[in-house]
Structure 1
Amino acid sequence: MARRSITEEEISLIKAMLARGMKNKDIQFYFNRQDRAVNSGRISGIRDRSYGPEVPTASDESLSAFIANFASPALAAPGIVVETAPAAPLDAMDEKVLRSFFAEASGAWHCTVGETDEFECKEGFSLRNFSKPLRTIAGYANNRGGYLFFGVKDKPLGFAVCGLADDRFTNTDQNKFSQTIRSVLEPTPRFRVASLKLDAMTVGVIHVEPHSAKPVIASKTEGDVVEGAIYYRYPGETKAICYADLRAILDERDQRSREAILPMVQRLLELGPKDAMVANLADGQLEGGQRPIIIDQQLVERIKFIRDGQFDEVDGAETLRLVGDVSPVDLSSLTTIKTVRTELTEESIVRNFVGRVLVEEPLAYVRQASHEQSFLLPLFYYLHLAGQSREGAIADLQAHRNAKPNTAKEIVRRLKRQRTLFVAAGGKRLATLNQIREQSVGEIKSASQAKAVMDAITGIAEGDSEIFEYANGLVNQALEFWGTDRSLVSYLRKAASRLDELVYGPQVADA
């Protein structure tokens, strides 16, 4: 038998970690050393019993003791100090972050952070009786964010972990949470949902981000939530906001508004009142003196105007409302002034998906995708952001008259699960896919390499969930070559769309 690079004790612990549901990248943290790396492929080999099948699995108690006493090995050459860039902070819902809030003692798990202005514990979970968690979610959004733990007892019981009594939390789609929250709170707080396994117990986790457009207000009365109330998270409790904290929120919002408008004011001062007009986006008027707005003769002939007291509209058709008299003007002798407006593009649809950008109008991205020649663009991420169902998206597309018929038809097939972007890999594609699975692709240095990697990503299956984020990072690298090779765009669209249907497709409800 060939000499193994890792010991049987390490293999037994890795098997126990796999049984506990830990991901390859988290297991690597405990076994990678300066003089020996344990790659993801080795862990996958232990998982499928092609490596060390005869080694028994360590007991759960041995694994817990190993993790509790784990310390990173010292550097082999402590005399050499290399200055490195600080590590990027872990995501708020990373398993390491969530586990750091709990500790095991005497065979029992406890939430060590207790209840503060950023943490709240609930013993049970029911979406039908969700008014108290709604207050907390609103309070977090109006303060600096925080975590809600379900399956953890309250203070009198020492914040002991009791686990969820059933699987209602884990089986509830984030879209259902979104609908419940959106129906009571405006603007809708931004949140994420996860489950954490602590031995045989499951803890439900909701993380809420501070809202960028505070205050979040209750739009209707629902149980313990009172219509019109503004809730704020204070240490250990959520209650109606105090005047001083509300004043601070309003002052901060006013400050952001002033900072946003100052560049516009500066530009107006540079142009002067004779050369500037203000577009009032609330009522659609251009304001700035008595100067006329000139419309080209050809455009006038194509516009149907609605006169005062006369209404003859087609539902959904575009309408131009004018106040005052309209006269055609010959522009042949005038200098053309071109107004440029930033539009959604296929590149922005892909880039915002890869970067997980929280766009303000997510459904506009779905509609724009229906305008493109190709139907291969991310969709489910934007439907997930909007809380839109597949059925609702289909109805929206069918009512959208400007969509390209063939593109809209294929998008509807994707929404109905009649078409997938999965392509089984073989030959060179399979070899590249295996590199992705082992997370050993490295830096993408050319458009041709980007094509090969993007092509292989379409072969990723549902069971490869541990590499979804790694593959997303590869797409992000390949985006650097977007403008250098037009043929690469098709590969990028396909790869992004495959990851989109894998990661966010299951999170979009049917109806």
Structure 2
Amino acid sequence: MNARALRTGSLTDDEVGIIRNLLARGGYKNQDILGLINTVRRLEGRDETNGGRISEVKTHKPRYKGIKATSDKDTDSFITRAKKPAGFEKIDTGPVSINILEALFPMRKGSKDHLAITETDQIECKESFGGQHWIDNCIKAIAAFANNKGGYIAFGLKDKTWEIVGTDKVKYEKYDRKNLNQKLRSYFSCGVNFDMSSLDRGGKTIGVLHIPPVKIKPVMFIRQVEGAAEGHIYYRYQGENRLIAPTELQQIIEERIRTLSETILSKHVSNILSNGIENSAVLNLDSGVVDGKAGSFVIDEELLPKISFIKEGEFVEKSGTPTLKLIGEIKKSTKIVATKKEELIKLYPYSWQEMVDLVKKQIAGATNTQINNLIKSEKLKVNKKYSSFNFRNKSLADKYKQSGALPSGTPSIYNEAAVNFIADKLSNKAGPPL
């Protein structure tokens, strides 16, 4: 400890030295440094500090004058301890293992019913679990964690005091995870994984829901719920979930581009070099044009919806087995092939209301709610086989393609396949959706 008078949450000289070293290295945000510092503080049973302390060191506040940066060796040791605490090397250190949860949710010194934590960019607390709306109450936090670096929602803790009120252990551990999974699929533009566990603290049970970061960001809402509108993107900041700021959204976009460059593009380049340029061609999944060194050919328009899943990444390719096999007779085209897509209105001629009216003509008693539930659960709005977004102008379409964020007020239009699909699902044979 140092000679300065330290209050709860104050930084020690050693911590100030660690912060100075991390800041000098570059690449560490304030929230990253705060996470490392607080992880070690929790392991030592000390109260957490806040992001303002990091900023004070960064701006050279007089109270930290004369405290030098620690050595790289000591700083590396500190990082290792924060990321993998001593003694955990040979035991389970999964995100919901008992070892990790005990380190994340330590008891406050001298207390039997309070934790020594605070809400951070990776921890959010809820007093109750269960009931009709518990998922809706957590939905923005789940999206926010998935869009950042993941996090934990703890049930059975009072906000701000961190008093352990507990939750029903049997009810929590027997909860059917399928219900949560189906809810998330209906709320979000992509799948969000999760895991559930529990932790005994002070003779009571804390339920813990872990949300890892999604592989391809951002996660956006595709329906309105609890203050979140369609197209909203939430991000986890220190102690709060809020609409993503331009800086973080730009980082997600850049990371997505980098990932695509390192994976998909490098894979294609590798295949071209392996197969030979003269034996390689490029398929445009929108137009169906396959362009190679010696010329081009076109895949029939009727086949395009059937192979569009390649673009969405919704397939698993077995080693050595082609994902798709195209068969049929090759015919000469009697017309000039244009790469420009046919007008959307010809491919998807029905508005939502027109589509609903056509479904109701086929299925007596069908309701708007049943139809909308199917559109959401089957994700018809993002399936080119059935529907397309009708953007007001090219600028909005380009923005959606680049960011994945759907501009507010963009309508969906549908085709005959969508009408038949929904009617079939609502038929007596399939039964109406719940």
Instruction: State TM-score, norm by structure 2.
Output: 0.45
TM-score (ref. length: structure 1): 0.39
Larger Rg: 1
